[in-house]
Amino acid sequence: MISVKGTVITRVGAYEIEWLSIPRGRVGMAHLRLTSGGTTQQLSLAWRRDALGLWLELPWGVVGFDLSAEQNDDGVKSFSVSQRGNSYRADGLICVRGTQADPSSAQKGKKKGVRVRAQMPGKMIRVSVKNGDAVEKGQSVAVMEAMKMENEIRAPASGTVSKLGVQEGQAVESGAELFWIDPV
């Protein structure tokens, strides 16, 4: 995804899509320039949103897409798109306005850390790591009591514990940051 002077350009596979007008609202028209293999064509499309995504009326037919969004720890929202009635799927699409910097370019070549958060409210019974400890993916890092049951918390990735947000005996709320694991 890149931005050029107020326009938004999205790359999906071999296609580069330059949005000349951005779809807004539940129904409308959008205009775009589609480039693939050195060939460029300008398209106008009608679109309509539904509960799961949108329908596009293209010159060669009507196509439906399911959309889902996910926000990472840095606040960057990425989208997954799957075509209805087809196996096509694209993940990790990032859209930015023309005046914004591409959030993915700042992260290129830099591995991101992983936050470990509480899945439910409870009390920390045992914390088996400390700052600077190396952990392997799947390793037990803590035990939390929730709803009168002991729940083992495992490391979601290998790395080094760089931030410890809890201690034994501490009560935590759902979503509380427990650990931060920097990649190896």
At residue 47, the pLDDT reads: 82
Q: How do residues 110-157 score in pLDDT, each as one tens digit?
A: 557 788 888 888 999 999 999 999 999 889 999 999 888 898 988 888
> Could you give the CA distance from residue 88 to residue 117 in angstroms, rounded to a whole number?
33
Burial of 78 (0-12, 13-18, 19+ CB in 10 A): middle
Q: Which CATH architecture has domain 2-107?
A: Beta Barrel (2.40)
When mean pLDDT is compared across 75-89, 105-119, 167-181, the lowest value belongs to 105-119
SS3 content of the chain, % helix, strand, coil (to 5): 0, 60, 40
- What percent of the chain shows pLDDT beyond 70? 79
Binned at pLDDT 50, 70 and 90, residue 103 comes out as: very low
Q: What is the strand order of the sheet 27-36 is part of?
A: 2-4, 7-12, 15-21, 27-36, 39-49, 53-58, 61-71, 77-83, 89-93
Name every residue whose Cβ is closer than 8 Å to that of residue 59 and which is 6 or more positions away in sequence: 43
The predicted model scores a pTM of 0.42
- Please report, for the chain, the start and end positions of each structural domain, with discontinuous segments joined by +: 2-107, 114-183
Q: With 60 as the cut, is the pLDDT of residue 86 above it?
A: yes
> Could you give the CA distance from residue 24 to residue 11 in angstroms, rounded to a whole number?
20
Total Cβ atoms within 10 A of residue 127: 19
Closest by Cα among 83, 96, 104 to 19 = 96
- What percent of the chain shows pLDDT beyond 90? 17
Q: Which fold has domain 114-183?
A: OB fold (Dihydrolipoamide Acetyltransferase, E2P) (2.40.50)
Q: Which two tokens stand for residue 174?
A: 């759902």
At residue 5, the pLDDT reads: 43
